[in-house]
Amino acid sequence: MSRLYPWLESVWHEWQASLQSGRFSNAAMLVAEPGLGGEQLIDVFSRAVMCSNYEHEACGFCHSCQLMQSGNHPDFHLVKPEKEGKAISVEQIRHCNRQAQESSQLGGLRLFIIEPAESMNESAANALLKTLEEPSSHCLFLLVTHRANSLLPTITSRCQQWHLIPPSSESVACWLSEQTKKSVPAFAAHINNNAPLTTLAFVDEGKDKQYSKLEQALLDVVQGKGDALKLAKELSTDTADKLTWLWFLLTDAQKVHFGVQLPQFTPGAASIAASSDYALLYSQAQALSQLIEQLREHTGLNSELLILDWLFKFNGETCL
């Protein structure tokens, strides 16, 4: 078995025990934030389920394992959007439903991985519901989702749910320092939701330096001496990531007002807190999280102008 990321091991051991005792549900769901390496867990799981020799891990030698290695196992079905960003269609799910009625070709289980499950449109989700209500004993469905709350409750309630819990900021920083052979600060993990692989990319791509510049630029704006126009322009590329980093900075600064100081806090949190009162930080953090959501849902908006208006509000002004 290939080595798993350390934070996946506890879920994998539980899954292995379930598989070995035949208790793994025929309808299961994995809730995993991006950047946690959930795909590695799914890969190991799929190989184990398809292996003809063992129940809880892949032997690597049997015919089934070899078919999995070459990506040609006829009883393994990976269902995902036909194009990135598109929906999983009702036709795709109906095709699954038909396959689920048939016995497996190699005599073992048929495995369906549906990923990301939230990309099923409503009719696709409804079509799947019927199969999940009475899954046949020779089929196993694993739905993988980043956002369980965007799925129909009727779907989630029929699945045994598993959640991948992100490690702490300190353990992510420690793991990354080992991987990269350089010191990675805990705040880097913190502003990336403690997702180790996202943080690794953050460090590898030099985004930590980019963050430091943004932090200083925001502090200047909060102190009334910065260039809000320049910062708004800067924030209008890779907007979701950059605004999320600043959201962490503002929420850390709010906690500083309550006397909290944690090792993973953003370096500028104390200075922001010293330059702005709690109420303003609170309302600006709320407004920022709404802005992030608004820009995510409506791609055609003028992000630079909306960000500029948000920045102006630090000084009680508005540009809209």
Beta-carbon contacts of residue 218 (< 8 Å; ≥ 6 apart): 226, 231, 246, 249, 268, 272, 311
CB of 131 to Zn ion, least distance (A): 27
Single out the residue of 179, 44, 60 nearest to residue 113, CA to CA. 44
The two three-digit tokens of residue 69, written as one number: 């290695």
What is the DSSP annotation of 19-37? Answer: HHTT---SEEEEE--TTS-
Q: Enumerate long-range contacts of 177-181, CB under 8 Å, 24 or more apart.
A: 180/204
- 66/101 with CB nearer Zn ion: 66
CB of 22 to Zn ion, least distance (A): 18
CB of 187 to Zn ion, least distance (A): 44
For residue 194, what is the DSSP state?
Answer: T
- E strand segments, 146-258: 160-163
- 1/201 with CB nearer Zn ion: 1
Beta-carbon contacts of residue 194 (< 8 Å; ≥ 6 apart): 166, 167, 168, 169, 172
* Other Cβ atoms closer than 10 A to 27: 20
- 13/63 with CB nearer Zn ion: 63
CB of 52 to Zn ion, least distance (A): 6
Half-sphere exposure (CA, 13 Å, Cβ side) for 243? Answer: 28
- 67/87 with CB nearer Zn ion: 67
CB of 108 to Zn ion, least distance (A): 10
- Within 21-108, residue ranges assigned H as helices are 38-50, 63-69, 90-101
- The residues binding Zn ion (CB under 5 A) are 51, 53, 59, 62, 65
Beta-carbon contacts of residue 61 (< 8 Å; ≥ 6 apart): 53
CB of 153 to Zn ion, least distance (A): 37
- 51/100 with CB nearer Zn ion: 51
- 55/170 with CB nearer Zn ion: 55
- 51/132 with CB nearer Zn ion: 51
CB of 161 to Zn ion, least distance (A): 28
The Cα 42–Cα 26 span in angstroms is 15
